[in-house]
Chains A and B, each alone.
Chain A
Amino acid sequence: MRALRILLEKEFRQIFRNPAILRLMFMMPTVQLLFLPLAADYEVKHVNVCVVDYDRSPYSHRLVNKIKATDYFQLVDYTDSYDKALRQLARDEADVVVQISDGFERSLVRENEATVFLAVNAVNGVKANLGGAYMRAVISDFNNEVRVEWAPPQGMNLQPVIGVEAINWYNPLMNYKIFMVPGIVVILVTMVGGFLSALNIVKEKEVGTIEQINVTPIHKYQFILGKLIPFWVLGLIILTIGLFISWVAYGIVPVGSLLTIYVFAAAYLLAVLGMGLGVSTLANNQQQAMLISFFLMMIFILLGGLYTSIDSMPRWAQVVTWFNPVTYFIEVMRMVVLKGSTLYDIRMHIGIVLLMAVVLNGFAVLNYRKRS
């Protein structure tokens, strides 16, 4: 026990003597949480639209005005040359080209139908997709307006229409920040825990201090515990800072209890740190450890369900996410923060993460050899 205590004492001393780590610990959550959610916005705004109006009639003007009136679109050009518009698309000045054909009004009035042609720049997939969808929504809205105006005075709707009304549970305003911020907190905790622990044992290898430790009679598990505990504490501190910032800056207060989050985080950190320490025992120098961790971290983050929905991933990717601890934490965070889930609701998640912790730490202890 004395050995473990002095190991911990030494580890904390080294951490607090390293101003870079301390600065990073406070800077990272602050910057990531204050600025990233503003930038990582899923709503697409400022889609540049170029309208090619061959008709130039009152109705086509009405449609253009409607497009201009929304927040989502920015009219960059109003022209009568489709070629010119396409050139703008090629130069990336326009994202969407709307072509209103000659005789738009006439065929709308006479034949009760008219065509509008949409050309979308799909280089930026998300923008193209959403921009196109918005545009279709605007046009269909315009269509409805016109139909209401022309409907028989009795107000009888000749063609029955099914309207869909949706209610968004748990996040009624679909505020993406409530959805993103807890996820970013998870990424933060994972990065700090994963990287710091991965670099630590390797550093002792590089400096050569591990030789000196290896000739002492301390046990392997004591050494690993001496590495695990300090970063476990650091991880929980980062989590606290993250939750504090999301409360102050975004007013996000978990619907569920904080205790639930901390209990899960405690188990989760064991798994992440076990992975880091495992990497640390595998690598021979800090560069290797950094690259391996980076590789794993990229996969964990991209397949963690923060940026893309797991349900829409291909089957094999979904299988990969089962082995991704980040997936479970992001899910738990959202469940607790948005829905108020309790410890009982997340018992499966805790169980799986604890199992990961046992496997990964077991690997770290076994793979750390005092003798080569």
Chain B
Amino acid sequence: MTTAIQVDHISKGFTTGKEKVSAVKDVTFTVGKGELFGLVGPDGAGKTTLFRILTTLLLADSGSASVDGFDVVKDVQSIRKRVGYMPGKFSLYPDLTVAENLAFFATLFNTSLKENYDLVRAIYHQIEPFEKRKAGALSGGMKQKLALSCALIHRPSVLFLDEPTTGVDAVSRKEFWELLRGLQAAGISILVSTPYMDEASLCDRVALMQEGKIMDINSPQGITANFTKPLYAIRSRNMYELMRALQQHEAVESCYPFGQQHHVVFKDDRLRPDDIRTLVTPLAGDGLEVERIQPTIEDSFMDLMHQ
């Protein structure tokens, strides 16, 4: 068997008041054994709903899904035994110490820290000095590490991480992704969600999600390779005026701010950098800089969103 997660035409809606909002619309994808699979999308894309369906916390309206070969509706108990889930919101007991939290969840899974120390060592090692500290008093990064240790304590075969790096500093984020690589090497399949496009490139494969739908599934390289239109980074002194002018120009397909520059996609892919420069010069004031660039995942995402 080579699939860890199989999602087949899953849909789920919620009723808020009289309005019916569909959070996940006909989503289908598979995650292979030992794969590090990313769900990338902005807040409200339906990532958490999908996680809750796959971890048996929520029933889908339609469609089917299986984790490690077990159906999420029928084989609930089997799934709960072999799945590790780290919710987006820190949800361990703040009034219990680090060691107590870990021991508690280990016992609920009928195991102990000692038994699986080799698996969590790399992570737990970093919070071990604070073993006697209450979980509520840990820093953000430490909390994440404790939550990950708790999700791993029963040696799950599939790990679900819902926005594990949201609200964590850049250094801790980098460290966290290195830890995930380590877990992958230990044979654990990982489904991770993130709103940060730059993290998508760290996954084996990613699914780009927007408003409950999957727009594209591919390797990070594959996603950017599909982006063939000419993409330019443009900046000048008056960025706001430039943006308005570019957005209204007929040769421009889309223009959006990207850090200190504007990323601009042109409709005609035969345009050369010199043509672009002459085209843009009348629109911009002083200090114009134009550069053809390679697309990132975010550019692909913006492009797919506009289609």
Contact = CB atoms under 8 A, between A and B. Distances in A.
Nearest to B80: A217
Interface string A1-37: 0110111001001100110000000000000000000
B77 A372 contact: no
A3 B87 contact: no
A370 B108 contact: no
A348 B295 CA distance: 79
Given A370-B57, A372-B58, A3 B91 contact: no
B83 A215 contact: yes
Pairs A-B, 8 closest by C-beta atoms: A208-B91, A6-B107, A216-B108, A217-B80, A215-B85, A208-B89, A212-B91, A217-B81
Interface stretch (B93-101, B189-197, B246-254): B93-101
Contacts of A216: 80, 105, 108-109
Contacts of B55: 215
Interface residues of B, number: 29
Interface residues of A, dominant DSSP: helix
Given A3-B107, A216-B105, A372-B58, A14 B96 contact: yes
A371 interface: yes
B57 A212 contact: no
B217 interface: no
A107 B109 CA distance: 94
Interface in B92-150: 92-96, 100, 103-105, 107-110, 150
Contacts of A13: 96, 100
Contacts of B103: 6
A371 B59 contact: yes
A212 B81 contact: no
Given A14-B96, A208-B90, A213 B108 contact: yes
Interface string A29-73: 000000000000000000000000000000000000000000000
A14 B95 contact: yes
A13 B94 CA distance: 12
Nearest to B136: A207
Given A13-B96, A211-B57, A371-B59, 11 more contacts: A5-B107, A6-B107, A211-B87, A211-B91, A212-B87, A217-B80, A217-B81, A217-B109, A370-B57, A371-B56, A371-B57
A207 B110 CA distance: 24
Contacts of B168: none
B76 interface: yes
